[in-house]
Structure 1
Amino acid sequence: MLKNKLGLEGDMVVQFQDPEFDNELCNLSSMSELPKDKVTLKVYSKNPESYHTDSTLHSASLTASSEDIPSPTTSHPCQLPQAFNIPTFSFDVELKLKRGNEAFLKGGTLLDISKDTISDILDKLAEAVYVRNPYPTFEEYDLVAQALNISYEWLDAQNSRSICARQVHQGGKKPKRDRKSEVNFLPDIPEGKTRQFLEEERTGMVNKMKKRKIDWQPIQEMMTSTFSLRRKEIVEEETPVADIKARWPALFSERQIEAEFARLTSVDLRGSLFAGLDKYLLRFLEIYKARSGLVELSNLLKATDAEEDMTKGMAVGILMVAEVDDVVGFSVVLEEEIIFPCLSDFPTAVAMLMGLLFALNINYLRGLKYTFEVIQKVLMDVGGGQCSALVHGLRNRLLRKNI
């Protein structure tokens, strides 16, 4: 169909923007892979005499091109070689692994692997795997684990598969990857400071938070100073939210959620959301009236007069707390726990919820992903240059004079 429409001959490759992988171009091998929404396709013709053309076919935008086929990192998976070559690690890691082999060969002695060393190994393995296959299978991770055992025998007793299993948990993608257009996603520890120094500063901050009257000025400075340590725990170590709350209690305050959002995106949390509401709210209401059910707010907002009962089973959401016929406030819920109780208005509650999702590196829930994408990319204009087809279409409608 594409060859007939575009007048192409010979072999060609068709790619589509896959929303499951941040709209990266992926080779199309089956029609079932296409998203249900309007999709942009890109056609690479291997015929050097082919020409450039733009065309529309059944709401799909097509571009014929004689450019070279993209590298494997932007296409669908290649299989990993059966004999996977373990990459060269950093000098420190190589030294530790060499010592481990020597100790094991001499007397079967095992060495402990620190979290930092495991993270370094993971990073390098992920890079090597990602070049060949951005979406590896569990079987391919097992191949990597076997290769790791062959290179470093003493890891076998320590179950090197557990190292690779952590990479499976990452979803087959590169670790340390920003998910929501953050400009300062995972900073390095500041020069002249060590992880131990930052940990001591964190401990001092926890003690300050226990005081009856909190002095927020030093807290603000210490939160800024320890930002890199906090991000490493959240992103690399995937620390549970409950543990983060215990280790970083200051983060779970309105002022520090706003500050953390600014550290991550260089954008004002409330200001950007409120500006977007001022710009688009009337058009939103017009479109919503014309086409009810356009957004998934019903899944985001719940009304209740008993907060404790309504939070059960609620992973992410906002509670509208009412007494008789009056709304008395809004509460932000995360993992069945009320994080911000009784906020004054709904926009503030949405702002705090978005701040939490960024600060804790939490993925958008599948049933609410378009709602959150609209809030982030349309209202707040954070990463607005890359939208899904559905959200891009909604933004175009918002900018039109007529619905």
Structure 2
Amino acid sequence: MAVHLRVVLEEHNIQKLKLPTGIPNTVEDLVSIVTETFQLHGEIGLLYQDKHFDNEFFSVTSTADLYDKATVKVILKEPTITLDLHPVLESSSLSSVSTYPASTTETDICPADHDASSEVSNYASSSSSDTIILPDSCRSAAWPVPFQVPEFSRDVELILAEANNLYDATGRHFMDASVKSAIMQELAKVIFSYTAYPTNQQILSVAEALVSKFPCLREPGSFAGLYGWQQRIKNKMHNYRAKLRSRKYSYPEIEINTLKRKHPGDAVPSKNIKKPKKAEVNYLPPHPTGESQETLEKERLDLIFEITKKNNAKIIADKMNKTFSSRRVEVVSLSPSVGVFKERWPALFTEAQVRMSCNFFFPLGYIHVITMRAGL
């Protein structure tokens, strides 16, 4: 017998799913049907409303819990990343290793045939002069774990403190829309200081930190009191990026996803979004102050000439540091082949530059990866 399910894809996107042959016998089959019907991408999970628990959401562990006209919510699962770390340096030798900030290290390309053992010794012998100085507008830290809720304005903090006391005494939730709007504005600024495109997991960590600090902000009727905040944060970041695009100051990581920057076949807001996928802090940094793509192109041509000379490693290193943002634009927007990239940036494949590129992938005392092509 045919069964209908109410499927919540997003807060404002609720669909009806018809199952002509009834509810599948396994959760996996149901997930497969939902994924194919609504053209979803990535790994998803399902929650269902249990009428015996005031319609609270629970994980779908068995399709026997579902019935005709039941409500099912789709959640996107973040991929699990497992790192296999192997110690390679004794603690006594760590004091001689210089640390390279993740936000200021050259990470364009690291060829696969580079020898790991020689890289460790080179890493220990590298000097701090190899560190790249990026513009002040670049980010200086990766996403914090756990997320730290910022200090709001004095008025908002006082209102929330009073609301928390009322919540502890009576269980009454805080519902003032104007204060919530002020909270969202501050959260958007802090989130953008780490990433312009937060993942679902990062958005969840913000919502969890917020309601943990201010329990009065939990929302009755939603899963763990977080769902509404997750949707608000997601929508706020979308609006925040749109507002930044309208300003004169250029944010390359946002500008690259505008419709005018896309190919005609990809000129759809939700298609082919370019954003960090490997935890890059400065994924697409702005050009140094006073520089433009034209002036940096001249620097690139000078680099091709300088690479033919001898004993000018310092000049090459300075020019490579200066043109870092230009290379990132080229890698992200054009995705050139290694051969083409080597022809345009031969200095990047010199021993000194390869060493700088690979240093990023050697956390202090460990080796995990020596190969990464940063989008190539």
Tell me the TM-score normalised to structure 2 length.
0.37
Larger RCO (CA under 8 A, 6+ residues apart): 2
